[in-house]
Structure 1
Amino acid sequence: MSDFQYETILSELRETAVRVITLNRPDSLNAMNRQLIDDVARAFDDANADPATRAIVFTGKGRAFCAGDDRKVHVHPESEEEARELVVAIQRATRAIVFGGKPVVGAINGWAVGGGFEWAINCDFPIWGESAKAFFPEVSLNLFVTGAVTSLLPALVGLNKAREMLLLGERYGAADLKEMGLAWKIVPDAELLGAALEVANKLSALPPLSVRAMKRVLNEAAVSDLERALRLETEATVAGFLDPRTTELLKQF
């Protein structure tokens, strides 16, 4: 189970039992189309089910980790059923990252925007390149966040800072993110993947049973209710997708 193929993802198992999952739409700054969303969920599900994989590095190819929703291919859902199916797919990717048994080291390069920022926050050990930047544009686009960040973000940065980030959509550099606790480490851009692999190698050498248990218990104990957050986010995001104003704002963004 060591070799997996995806349309928009590269998945490589290293000799140290570390699997590197790389978003592979560099010409679009790894922006999220439906294929990428589905591939992320599948790649993490496959990695978590693979006995040869002991730890995961999550990164993006090219100049960005993930630039959020792909505005060029955005299609306004025509029904609540279609909108809900899309949002459930987005949340499925977060479930695979957060609830999967393998520890995830993020190697966050370039821009992490919207859903890409959410995936960075979903990582257990988020390491950011020193030039990386991030923000949440969702509210300004008549949308809502996903990725359980309505629960994770207040737990990490506090409620007031979470309000600032989610409602005002301010842009933050890696140093800002380190200060507020969203970046675990910052390293020079050229050293990013090496630093992530070093941490992942240490994790892969630990007993997998205790690592899996620690990840699960920490997430369940530290954050109030991730499943409830995912459900509430889904309803709010579906409502945003169904408003025609959303498509107008996305095209202007």
Structure 2
Amino acid sequence: MAAAVISTHDGPIAWVKLNRPERLNAMNRQLVDELAAALLSADAEDSIRVVILHGEGRAFCSGDDLKDLDVQTESEIATQAWVEAIQNITLQIMQSSKIVIAAVHGWCVGGALEWAINCDFRLFADNTRWFFPEVSFGFFVTGGVTALLTKQVGPQIAKELIMFGERHNADKALEVGIAWKLVPEKDLLGEAERLALMVAERPANSVASIKHAINDGFHSSLHDAMAIETAATVRGFLSAEAQARARRT
């Protein structure tokens, strides 16, 4: 079985690549579990200062792989475990002592967009297309975005983005504050590396302390938001209407 996530170390940088290009790096259990292991490994390695999360092929990640919907919804226990595995990535990113940079290109959809929002810096290539599809299926968002996105873009814009699920370009991501910076696709990984090396020049303890202080202060309701999201997402996945809508895609 091919690796769904490839992690390599280059000096102070861990390059973590989502590697299911034939499915636009869609999220299945293998990818989520391997991503969790890669993030855990990077966090445990003292020489690693920054993680760059990126995608192989034509997309960062196209969100949940709905071809696995039957497996994800075979029981309430299975659905709960799937949603908690997705939410665990949020906790790993936000609670890590490393700075995590999302280098986003192509499609960035649903849970993948939520993971990108969890990252400390978000570089978007100029060809990025992004949206939240969950509500259109009858599902629900994860990644703490009901708290994080609301505080970043304001409640009206957060409701618009999540509720309507319209597809947006990279300029819109910069306009509302989801993207930190836009770069040409050909320069995306080089710009991510440049940023990572800037971070790595700073004292590790100070950088980690600043990250956690800002995350814990600005996003103080993250855990409460994720608990609400998990319960609502499990209900959505198990809804017959939502499953029927998802299978029509």
TM-score class, shorter-chain normalisation, is over 0.9
Which whole-Å deviations, capped at 9, do the CAs of 1:123-153 have from their partners, x for residues lacking one? 1110000010100000011100001111110
Q: Please give the per-residue CA displacement for 1:208-234, whole angstroms capped at 9, x wherever unaligned.
A: 111111110000111231111111100
| Aligned-partner residue type, residue 145 of structure 1 | V
Residue 211 of structure 1 corresponds to: 207
Tell which deviates more after alignment, 183-192 or 37-46.
Answer: 37-46
Offset at 1:7? 2.5
1:146 aligns with 2:147: no
Q: Tell me if the contact between 1:57 and 1:105 (Cα under 8 Å) persists in the aligned partners.
A: yes
**Comparing 93-102 with 67-76, which one deviates more in the overlay?**
67-76
**In the alignment, does 2:156 pair up with 1:160?**
yes
Match of 1:242 in 2: 238
Alignment length (residue pairs): 247
Matched, 1:191 2:187: yes
**1:41–1:94 Cα contact (<8 Å) kept:** no
CA distance in structure 1 between the aligned counterparts of 2:112 and 2:104, rounded to whole angstroms: 9
Task: Tell me the SS of whatever aligns to 1:224.
Answer: coil
Stretches of 4+ moved more than 6 A in 1? Answer: none
The answer to whether 1:18 aligns with 2:13 is: yes
- Aligned counterpart for 1:79 among listed residues 75, 79, 89: 75
CA distance in 2, matches of 1:204, 1:10: 22
Residue 72 (structure 1) shift: 2.1
Unaligned runs of 5+ in 1: 1-5
CA distance in 1, matches of 2:49, 2:104: 20
The reply on whether 1:28 has 2:23 as its aligned counterpart is: yes
Q: Which residue of 2 aligns with 1:47?
A: 42
Partner AA of 2:48 in structure 1: T
Task: Quote the offset at 1:39 in angstroms.
Answer: 1.4
2-side partners of 1:78 and 1:24: how far apart? 26
Cα deviation, residue 13, structure 1: 0.6
In 1, Cα distance between the equivalents of 2:26 and 2:61?
Answer: 5
- Consecutive unaligned residues of structure 2, counting only runs of 5 or more, are none
Q: Which SS does the other structure have where 1:183 is aligned?
A: coil
Alignment partner of 1:227 is 2:223: yes
The answer as to 2:162 corresponding to 1:174 is no
Query: Quick one: distance in 1 between partners of 2:169 and 2:32?
Result: 25
Match for 2:121: what amino acid? F
Identity %: 42
The separation in 2 between residues aligned to 1:223 and 1:91, in whole angstroms, is 15
Q: Normalising by structure 2, what TM-score?
A: 0.96
User: Aligned partners of 2:94 and 2:88: how far apart in 1?
Assistant: 10
- Which residue of 103, 109, 113 maps to 2:99? 103
SS in 2 for 1:228: helix
